[in-house]
Amino acid sequence: MSETTKMTISALQARVEAIFCKAGLNAVQAGALARVIVAGERDACKSHGVYRIEGALRTVKAGKVKADAIPELVEQAGSAIVRVNANGGFANPAFELGVPVLAERARSCGLAALVVNDCTHFSALWPEVEALTDQGLAGLVMCPSYATVAPTGGNKPLLGTNPFAFGWPRPGKSPYVFDFATSVAARGEIELHRRAGKQLPEGWAIDADGNPTTEPEAALAGAMLPFGGHKGSAIGTMIELLAGIMIGDLTSPEVLDYLGTTTLAPFHGELILAFSPEAFAAGRPGDPFGRAEVLFEAIVGQGARLPSQRRYVARAKSESDGIELTAAEMAQLERLEAL
């Protein structure tokens, strides 16, 4: 068994943040990026953990993201649409800037939207959903990525892996959260299989000639497949429409044209919707949070698990024992520190 290293969450945060600062990112960019990457490692979501540092740095070096960007709230007083321009920086600090205003508007209007424009987005969406459930709000988050997924019935990359996440607050408990790519698996999973020299499960991808493949290299050169056939294909398309075209930002094929590669983090926009369950349920019988608990208990009562349960177990372990990094991950971290 290969050696592993444990470190506290705050120690990993400091090390990742220092790598980004040394690479020229300003404090708002470096802090927000490190928080989301460390959260990925803490919750055992390796496809968006420390392995993503290198891609973010490559994107900075290629001049496709502004290391010193300061996100800006584009105020439309009282509107249910809150807009933040990331000004060419990463999405994460722009989200952090917009979320308090979004929460306040969702409470006053019942629902509100946060639009983030002109951002580079490479991270998992559940940290953003949890920022809403922490405020007692339900939330939906979505964004395009770049053309890597063939629509069902097609055979060429067109849609992105377009992540889609939802959260429901549970007073006194960890929220109900799901967060997934609308492809069978995130592209990051394919890359991790490639690095580990492992075959992909069947049904994830087709090669450049449109034939099914379990070879990671052939899948990366070909196209990934949507989850759930035509259903995932339609949800992926909806995300292109709502979180690309509707918000005046790039769609996944436009992102690929702009970047010319999938080795850099994608540049586009993001849509975050926040709902106040109390406002929607007002005047109707029953407490929405209590009724939700009945539903969750019935799901778990059948022996099923709730999404994010695996993450919460991993989080508790990281909080008590520290985050565990493999020898390869430690070597990568040390190499990036030495740059």
Residue nearest to ligand NDP (CB): 124
Q: Which is nearer to ligand PYC, 96 or 179 (CB)?
A: 179
How many amino acids of this chain bind ligand NDP (CB under 6 A)? 27
Binding mask 17-56 for ligand PYC (x = CB under 6 A): ------------------------------x---------
Phi-psi label, residue 252: left if phi above 0, alpha if psi -120 to 50, beta otherwise: alpha
Beta 72-74 vs 81-85: how paired, if at all? antiparallel
**Window 20 to 59, contacts with ligand NDP (CB under 6 A):** 45, 47-48
CA angle, corner 183, sides to 179 and 189, nearest 5? 75
Task: Estimate the share of the chain in helix, then strand, then coil, as percent rounded to the nearest 5.
Answer: 45, 20, 35
**Window 144 to 173, contacts with ligand PYC (CB under 6 A):** 145, 161
318: contact with ligand PYC by CB under 6 A: no
Q: Is residue 48 annotated as a catalytic residue, yes or no?
A: yes
Q: Which of 17, 41, 48, 193 is catalytic?
A: 48
What are the tokens at 28? Answer: 């708002």
Q: Which is nearer to ligand PYC, 123 or 135 (CB)?
A: 123
Q: Say if CB 269 and CB 251 are below 8 A apart.
A: no
Q: Which is nearer to ligand PYC, 119 or 181 (CB)?
A: 181
β-sheet bridge partners, residue 116? 84, 270
Which of 125, 224, 273, 333 touches ligand NDP (CB under 6 A)? 125
Q: Which of 17, 128, 130, 189 is catalytic?
A: 189
176: contact with ligand NDP by CB under 6 A: no
Q: Which one, of 99, 19, 77, lies nearest residue 334 by Cα?
A: 19
**Distance, CA of 223 to CA of 211 (rounded, Å):** 10
From residue 298, alpha-carbon distances to 176, 301, 302, 313 in Å are 14, 5, 7, 21
122: contact with ligand NDP by CB under 6 A: yes
Which of 98, 127, 169, 188 touches ligand PYC (CB under 6 A)? 188
**Distance, CA of 26 to CA of 300 (rounded, Å):** 44
How many amino acids of this chain bind ligand PYC (CB under 6 A)? 9
What are the tokens at 58? Answer: 């490559």
Which of 95, 122, 227, 267 touches ligand PYC (CB under 6 A)? 122
Return the DSSP state at 302: T
Which of 290, 305, 338, 339 touches ligand NDP (CB under 6 A)? 305
Which of 29, 117, 145, 251 touches ligand NDP (CB under 6 A)? 145
β-sheet bridge partners, residue 5? 325
Residue 189 C-beta: closest distance to ligand PYC, Å: 7
Go through 55-76 and write b for each residue having 16 or more CB atoms within 10 A of its CB, e for each that does not: bbbebbeeebbbbebebeeeee
User: With CB cut-offs between 5 and 8 Å by kind, which of ligand NDP, ligand PYC, none does residue 140 bind?
Assistant: none
Residues that bind ligand PYC (CB under 6 A): 47, 122, 145, 161, 181, 186-188, 266
The residues annotated with a catalytic role in the active site are 47-48, 189
Residues that bind ligand NDP (CB under 6 A): 45, 47-48, 121-126, 143, 145, 161, 163, 165, 178-181, 185-186, 189, 305, 307-311
